[in-house]
């Protein structure tokens, strides 16, 4: 299906409560939902939230556990994946994050924390190509995104698609991974379009 499981930032900026809840299951339209193990779709995804959103989630249910700057949600998204919320001091500023960790790997919450700190400590504001695509997927409403179905060749089925507007006024579903640079630029918000591209480590 779509992305595998490396730790990855999926949204640029600070998500408000509405955006946060949309991104908790940003793959809701996936085919055969709940019929297979979808852990790889979510494992490693993270994004920034505000203090109010962090505190709201802390107050919903007693956490599964709390450790220093992080706590785990008691409700699991899949059998082994749950939400981890972080309060991290980065470059002298306290910031808040949500990530999906697989708790069968006891080190995954710490690895996620370290990856967030490393990513958010970049000396120059930039985005990788993968982050651009993930932001587009996260920011696109369900009506304008989906998954390749039976009309696609077998090797493309289950991959993510987004609606692209053509120069002649028409629109077409296109595989997210096949967006051209011009299409990526058109789909990014103005303040992100001209950030330099950084190669993923």
Please provide residue 119's backbone torsions phi and psi, each rounded to the nearest 5 degrees.
-65, -45
pLDDT score at 35: 67
Residue 181 CB-density burial (10 A; 0-12 exposed, 13-18 middle, 19+ buried)? exposed
Coil, strand or helix at 197 = strand
Which tens digit of pLDDT belongs to each residue from 102-140? 999 999 999 999 999 999 998 778 888 999 999 999 999
Which tens digit of pLDDT belongs to each residue from 6-21? 899 999 999 999 999 9
CA distance 164 to 180: 10
Q: What is the pTM of this model?
A: 0.86
Token pair 């051209």 is found at 180
Contact criterion met (CB below 8 Å) for 42 and 80: no
Q: Which of 108, 107, 12, 128 is nearest to 99 (CA)?
A: 108
Residue 39 tokens read as 């852990």
Mean pLDDT calculated for residue range 80-104 = 94
Coil, strand or helix at 110 = helix
Which tens digit of pLDDT belongs to each residue from 132-164? 999 999 999 988 898 888 888 888 888 899 989
pLDDT score at 1: 43
Residue 16 tokens read as 């408000």
Which tens digit of pLDDT belongs to each residue from 34-74? 666 677 788 999 999 999 999 999 998 889 999 989 999 99
């Amino acid at each position: 299906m779509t992305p595998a499981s490396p730790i990855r930032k999926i949204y640029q900026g600070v998500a408000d409560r509405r955006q946060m809840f949309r991104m908790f299951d940003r793959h809701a339209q996936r085919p055969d939902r709940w019929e297979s193990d979808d852990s790889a779709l979510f494992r490693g995804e993270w994004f920034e939230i505000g203090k109010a959103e962090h505190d709201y989630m802390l107050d919903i249910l007693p956490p599964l556990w709390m450790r220093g700057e992080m706590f785990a949600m008691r409700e699991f998204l899949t059998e082994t994946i749950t939400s981890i919320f972080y309060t991290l001091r980065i470059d002298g500023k306290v910031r808040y994050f949500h990530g999906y960790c697989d708790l069968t790997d006891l080190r995954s919450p710490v690895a996620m924390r370290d990856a967030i700190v490393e990513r958010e400590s970049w000396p120059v504001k930039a985005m990788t190509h993968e982050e651009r695509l993930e932001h587009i997927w996260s920011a696109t409403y369900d009506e304008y995104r989906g998954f390749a179905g039976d009309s696609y060749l077998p090797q493309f089925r289950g991959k993510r698609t987004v609606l692209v507007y053509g120069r002649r006024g028409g629109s077409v579903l296109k595989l997210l991974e096949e967006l051209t640079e011009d299409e990526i630029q058109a789909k990014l918000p103005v303040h992100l379009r001209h950030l330099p591209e950084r190669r993923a480590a």
